[in-house]
């Protein structure tokens, strides 16, 4: 047992020797354990949340949601602009794009937005907490919880070892998707008077599917060419894109293609008139 622990510690130390020294002293970046702990606690809280709420009345969080969604719009827009300005509109290639580990202003700028994107994944865990506090338990689906729960720790490794290059293509797209998503949530939280501006709800899932399809193609093409980018991250990003394409496609099928019972159609009709019952 002692030898196994010693071997694990040795493997961990060897792995950390490959980390980017530029990010070593940044907040939450010294070790992965705080990120692991927060993700585990997220799953525990979501599991226990409905029981903790019990017979309590749902919290009224309209003002909190408005402020939160507005801040997330700004944060998502910032990340999208920074990913574009520090890389994807500043000479990055859609083919092989290695990480620039130098201390040039552009390379450091890219590393910083990668870190900010990583931090944003922790903030987004509040989405699910708000669902629980408002007793919108159906909104905390497997797709939602799984997606939110693995992103923070996944991105810790991204920032620690590859803060830039090829892997930031999907974060560029994701930042734009989240900008649109939180804009939708903000308008929905304003009340029934704004429902006429939410006609594009269905297309949000279509954009998500397009995102994951694009990332899958982007990852796959790199498997057929030489590129100075860690192959493990290529496989991880590609697998992530495929898994979530399948999950979002299943959601789209159930929500927009699969015929609904007549009673559910009537209920949904009332929901539209009363202001998107299932929306934030």
Any idea what DSSP says for residue 162?
-
Q: How far apart (Å, rounded) are the C-alpha atoms in residues 164 and 112?
A: 9
Q: 100: helix, coil or strand? A: coil
- Single out the residue of 127, 105, 120 nearest to residue 45, CA to CA: 127
Q: Is 178 a catalytic residue?
A: no
Alpha carbon distances (Å) from 240 to 110, 128, 146, 160, 247: 22, 21, 11, 19, 11
Q: Tell me which H or E stretch contains 218.
A: helix 201-221
- Tell me which residue of 185, 172, 166 sits closest to 238, measured CA to CA: 166
> Which of 144, 147, 148, 218 is the catalytic position?
147
User: What does DSSP assign to residue 145?
Assistant: H
Residues 100/12, Cβ–Cβ less than 8 Å: no
Q: What is the DSSP letter of 88?
A: I
Question: Could you report how far apart the first and last alpha carbons of the chain are, in Å?
Answer: 50
Q: Annotated active-site positions, please?
A: 147
């Amino acid at each position: 047992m002692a030898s196994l622990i010693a071997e694990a510690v040795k493997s961990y130390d060897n792995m950390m020797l490959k980390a980017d020294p530029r990010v070593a002293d940044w907040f939450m970046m010294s070790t992965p354990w705080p990120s692991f702990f927060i993700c585990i606690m997220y799953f525990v809280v979501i599991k226990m949340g409905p029981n903790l709420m019990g017979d309590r009345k749902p919290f009224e969080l309209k003002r909190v949601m408005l402020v939160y969604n507005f801040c997330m719009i700004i944060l998502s827009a910032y990340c999208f602009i920074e990913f574009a300005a520090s890389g994807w509109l500043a000479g990055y290639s859609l083919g092989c794009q290695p990480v620039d580990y130098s201390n040039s202003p552009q390379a450091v700028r890219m590393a910083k937005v990668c870190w900010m994107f990583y931090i944003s994944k922790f903030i987004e865990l509040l989405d699910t907490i708000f669902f629980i506090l408002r007793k919108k338990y159906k909104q905390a689906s497997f797709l939602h919880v799984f997606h939110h729960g693995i992103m923070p720790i996944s991105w810790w490794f991204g920032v620690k070892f590859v803060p830039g290059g090829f892997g930031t293509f999907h974060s560029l797209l994701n930042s734009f998707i989240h900008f649109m998503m939180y804009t939708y949530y903000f308008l929905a939280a304003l009340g029934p008077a704004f429902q006429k501006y939410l006609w594009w709800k269905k297309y949000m899932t279509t954009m998500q599917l397009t995102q994951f399809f694009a990332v899958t193609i982007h990852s796959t093409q790199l498997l057929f060419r030489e590129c100075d980018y860690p192959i493990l991250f290529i496989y991880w990003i590609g697998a992530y894109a495929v898994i979530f394409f399948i999950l979002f496609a299943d959601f789209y099928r159930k929500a927009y293609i699969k015929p609904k019972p007549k009673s559910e159609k009537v209920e949904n009709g009332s929901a539209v008139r009363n202001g998107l019952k299932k929306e934030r």
